[in-house]
Amino acid sequence: MPNIDPSTIDLDRTAHEHAAALRAGEYTSVQLTEATLARVKAQDAALNAYVTITDELALEQARAADARLTSGDATLLTGVPVAVKDLLSTKGVRTTASSRMLEDFVPVVDCTVVQRLNASGAVTIGKANLDEFAMGSSTEHSYFGPTHNPWDLERVPGGSSGGSAATVAARGVPLSLGTDTGGSIRQPAALCGILGLKPTYGRVSRWGVVAFASSLDQVGPFGRDAEDLADLIQAIAGDDPMDSTTSDLPVPDFKEGFDRGFDGLRVGVPAEFMEGGDEGVRDAVEAAIAAMEANGATIVRDITLPTAKAALPVYYIIAPSEASANLARYDGVKYGHAVTNGRSAEDEMSRSRGEGFGPEVKRRIMLGTYALSAGYFDAYYLKAQKVRTLIRRDLDTAFERCDVIASPTSPNVAFRLNEKLDDPYAMYLNDLYTIPVNIAGNPGISIPCGFSEGLPVGLQLVAPHFEESTLLAAAHAYEGITDWHRQAPPSLG
């Protein structure tokens, strides 16, 4: 074992830099894990990025990783610390969905993604905070309190995967996993100044992930550069017999285009994705597009997405409807928060749900139940599904003339805590540019592209279905001509 003080390890390194150092014997996974645990604990009083920090599990996995490194059986993630959104089931470690309803729930199995993460030899540092049941855009709707943005602790990190984004941005861990239903990976990545990838629907298994909206949810990675994202999705992607919605398409080498640059890349810029939002955000995104053009990309500005403006209302019919059905299982009988001293079974169920769910979850359950109710199903849910088809068709048509579509990830930079809590519509508008991608099932990525008001701005790139490699190659090329992804927030310990 290298005779070093774990506190001297450079935790600003990326995951692939840590992996190279581990293979070279500069330090062990146990030493790296000890240093990482010390940092995330020191930071968490300010950030509140974690619901649970898994000290014992992490060190056990780190010892196993060191054995694999010694035997030559290591993968690119062996020994590397990772945080996992507390929506992913973890055997023997509580999985709360940041809700009182599941405050004490401990799964008996790992979800498929965590199984694959464990098989890679990665080290799980903890379960990251989120908006309750992934319903929110700020990580303020958590039973365990809000997560703070490391760039400004008075601001939100985005949501719903805010804890996963904040801990990577703060250099707590180099990698994390989140879920994206309407922008819940890309939006917090943008607001925290890191990269986040929402894979194609069906690229990554959802088995064992606490369900929000089953036709929209996808698991995906956060990291500080494109190479790290590629390594993490390489480990978790692929068909899963436990999830009938996963694709049986072969999983490609997600770094296959990293030597391509921008030559030949056609970047579509639809006017519908550049309207509205903060001027500083638009300026940073336009500068990023200009930089890509100056380095060989072809910019296509006459594509159009006429139904994109309908994506927000479509989403807020489909997603709450699916949430209403998925959350019906939390009845105080089988598992989860339960009131047992009620006047009747109906009273106990009502009180269990009333106490177990927070206000945003209740709001979406009511919206969804209404949309699915007799007399309204055709007018709302069925019509939304028809418009969903048109949104996907418009994107498919646009991709006949371009390889990726560029836009802001979020219309604004990180807003102040409590600023939008009393205005759900203003909160929902934060996902204006990300929601169409979930509606259509396409992959999307957020890449740091500048600052506005001293806060990070994200560039969103969207690609045709199962073209994650195109997105990662474009992100890697952009990192080669800028250094926005290397910018770090003030140290928190």
Could you give the CA distance from residue 127 to residue 125 in angstroms, rounded to a whole number? 7
Strand partners, 177: 84, 221
Confidence class of residue 276 from pLDDT cuts 50, 70 and 90?
confident
CATH of domain 6-236: 3.90.1300.10
From 234, 196, 169, select the one nearest 445 (Cα to Cα): 196
Neighbouring residues of 148: CB distance < 8 A, sequence distance ≥ 6: 46, 47, 48, 154, 155, 156, 157, 166, 417
**pLDDT, position 374:** 87
Per-residue pLDDT of 110-169, as tens digits, reads 999 999 999 999 999 999 999 999 999 999 999 999 999 999 999 999 999 999 999 999
Handedness of CA 10, 16, 21, 27 (dihedral sign): positive
Residues 372 and 53: their CA atoms lie apart, in Å, by 39
pLDDT of residue 321: 97
Looking at the annotation, which residues are catalytic? 85, 160, 184
Contacts of 332 (CB under 8 A, 6+ apart): 338, 339, 340, 348, 349, 351, 352, 353, 356
pLDDT band per the 50, 70, 90 thresholds, residue 246 = very high
- Give the confidence band of 79 by pLDDT, cuts at 50, 70, 90: very high
- Going by pLDDT thresholds of 50, 70 and 90, the confidence category of residue 492 is confident
Condensed to tens digits (0 to 9), the pLDDT of residues 350-403 reads 999 999 999 999 999 999 999 999 888 999 999 999 999 999 999 999 999 999
Report whether pLDDT(425) > 90. Answer: no
**Hey, is 179 helix, strand or coil?**
strand
CA distance 390 to 252: 29
Q: Over range 79-104, report the average pLDDT.
A: 98
Each domain of the chain, given as residue ranges in start order, spans 6-236
Residue 99's nearest CA partner among 242, 192, 212 is: 212
pTM, to two decimals: 0.97
Residues whose CB falls within 8 Å of the CB of residue 280, separated by 6 or more in sequence, listed in order: 413, 452, 453, 457
Supply the pLDDT for residue 63: 98
Q: pLDDT tier at 334 (50, 70, 90 boundaries)?
A: confident
pLDDT of residue 126: 98
The rounded distance, in Å, linking the Cα atoms of 71 and 78 is: 12
Q: Residue 209 is encoded by which pair of tokens?
A: 């992930």
- Beta pairing class for 266-268 and 298-300: parallel
Residue 11 has phi, psi (to 5 degrees) of: -85, 0
- Note the pLDDT tens digit of each residue in 179-233: 999 999 999 999 999 999 999 999 999 999 999 999 999 999 999 999 999 999 9
Q: Once rounded to an integer, what is the mean pLDDT over residues 478-488?
A: 98
Q: What is the tens place of the pLDDT at every residue in 21-60?
A: 999 999 999 999 999 999 999 999 999 999 999 999 999 9
103: number of Cβ within 10 Å? 16
Mean pLDDT of the chain: 97
Strands (E), 77-215: 81-85, 123-128, 175-180, 195-198
CA atoms within 13 Å, Cβ hemisphere of 461: 31
Supply the pLDDT for residue 274. Answer: 87
pLDDT of residue 458 exceeding 90? yes
Which among 266, 264, 276, 278 has a CA at the least distance from the CA of 302? Answer: 266
Q: At what angle do helices 162-169 and 29-47 cross, to 10 degrees?
A: 120
Residue count of the chain: 493
Alpha-carbon Rg of the chain, whole angstroms?
Answer: 21
Q: Which two tokens stand for residue 8?
A: 């001297």
- Tell how strand 404-408 and strand 266-268 pair up: parallel
